[in-house]
Amino acid sequence: MTEARETTHFGEQTVALEDKQGLVNAVFHGVADRYDLMNDLMSGGVHRLWKDAMVARLAPPKTGSRPYRVLDMAGGTGDIAERIINASAGYAEVTVSDINSDMLRVGAERAKKWRFGGQANFVEANAEELPFEDESFDAYTIAFGIRNVPRIEKALGEAFRVLKRGGRFLCLEFSQVDLPGLDRVYDTFSDRVIPPMGKLVTGDSQPYQYLVESIRKFPTPAAFSAMIAAAGFRRVTHTAFSGNIAALHGAWKL
Ligand SMILES: C[S@@+](CC[C@H](N)C(=O)[O-])C[C@H]1O[C@@H](n2cnc3c(N)ncnc32)[C@H](O)[C@@H]1O
C-alpha cells in the first residue's frame, strides 16, 4: 500500500511537499545575480520603502550593555541587514541566513561596501531547521521569504525557538490587494508585465511566473496572523502597505 504524500503549491502547480524546496532553490539560484535589479524594476523601487518601514518598526537600539543580535532569515542579498545595521549606527549584529548559497554570495559581496559591513555575517541554513541555539536573538526578521518556505509552521516554530524572551518577530511579505480598482490593475501588471520583464532581464520568465502565483497562494493577513499566534507569539499585528500589496506582520515572544 502506498502512503498518500503530502502536497503543497509551487506557484500554480501542486507538488509533493518535499519537492517544493528544490524548485524554489532553482528559482533563486537562477536569478541571484539579477535579483536586486529585478526588485527595483518590478516594484518601481517601492520595495525599498517597505523595507525602510520594516526597519523603522524594528527601531534597533544604537547603544546598549550587550550586543543586539538580529537574525535576518531568508536574508538573500542583505537588503534588510544593511538597513538594520545602518539604523543602529553599526551597533546591531545581523546574521543573514538563507538556504541559497548564490543569494548569500551576492549579499556577502555587497556587504564589503557597506559602512558597517563587519557587523553582518552570512550563514547558509534552512528556515525550517535553524543551526542556532535557543533564545539566541533579540529579533527575527524575514522579508519576502516565508512565502517560499514549504512548511511555514515549522519556520515560525524555529523563529520562536531562537528568539529570546521579549524578542521581536517581523515579517514583510506580499499580500492580497484589497483596494477596489487597484486589484485589477495589479492583476494585469502581475500577469502581463512581471513575467516578460523577468525574461528580458534574467533570460527566464518562469521564476517570475512562480513569484506571481506564489503571492496569490499565500494566506490572507488574518490566516497568517493566526499561524504566527499558533507558533506561540503574542501581540500579533499586521500593517498593510500600498493597498495591501505588501503586509508587515509583527509579534513578540513574551
Ligand atoms: C524573494 S527573496 C527575499 C530576499 C530578501 N529577504 C529581500 O527581501 O530582498 C526570498 C529568499 O528566500 C530564500 N529561501 C527560500 N526558502 C528558504 C528556506 N527554506 N530557508 C531559508 N531561506 C529560504 C531564497 O533563497 C531567497 O533568497
- What is the per-residue pLDDT across 110-168, written as a single tens digit (0 to 9) for each? 999 999 999 999 999 999 999 999 999 999 999 999 999 999 999 999 999 999 999 99
Q: How far is the CA of 64 from the centre of ligand 1 (A)?
A: 30
Q: How far is the CA of 2 from the centre of ligand 1 (A)?
A: 33
Q: Which grid cell is 246?
A: 505588501
What residue owns the CA closest to ligand 1's atom 4?
Answer: 76
What residue owns the CA closest to ligand 1's atom 15?
Answer: 148
Q: What is the pLDDT of residue 2?
A: 54
Mean pLDDT is lowest, of 8-12, 189-193, 242-246, for 8-12
**Residue 3 scores a pLDDT above 80:** no
Do strands 120-124 and 92-98 pair parallel, antiparallel, or not at all (unpaired)? parallel
- Give the pocket of ligand 1 (CB within 6 Å): 21, 24, 28, 74-76, 79-80, 98-100, 103, 126-128, 143-145, 148-149
What residue owns the CA closest to ligand 1's atom 25?
Answer: 100
For ligand 1, pick from 98, 105, 149, 208 the residue to mutate: most ligand atoms within 8 Å of CB.
98
Eight-state DSSP code of residue 23: H
Cα 185 to Cα 49, 180, 205, distances in angstroms: 21, 10, 20
Name all contacts of 101-109 with Cβ < 8 Å and 24+ positions apart.
Answer: 102/28, 102/29, 102/32, 102/33, 103/28, 103/32, 103/35, 103/76, 103/77, 104/75, 104/76, 105/32, 106/32, 106/33, 106/35, 106/36, 106/76, 106/77, 107/75, 107/76, 107/77, 107/78, 107/81, 108/78
What residue owns the CA closest to ligand 1's atom 27?
Answer: 76
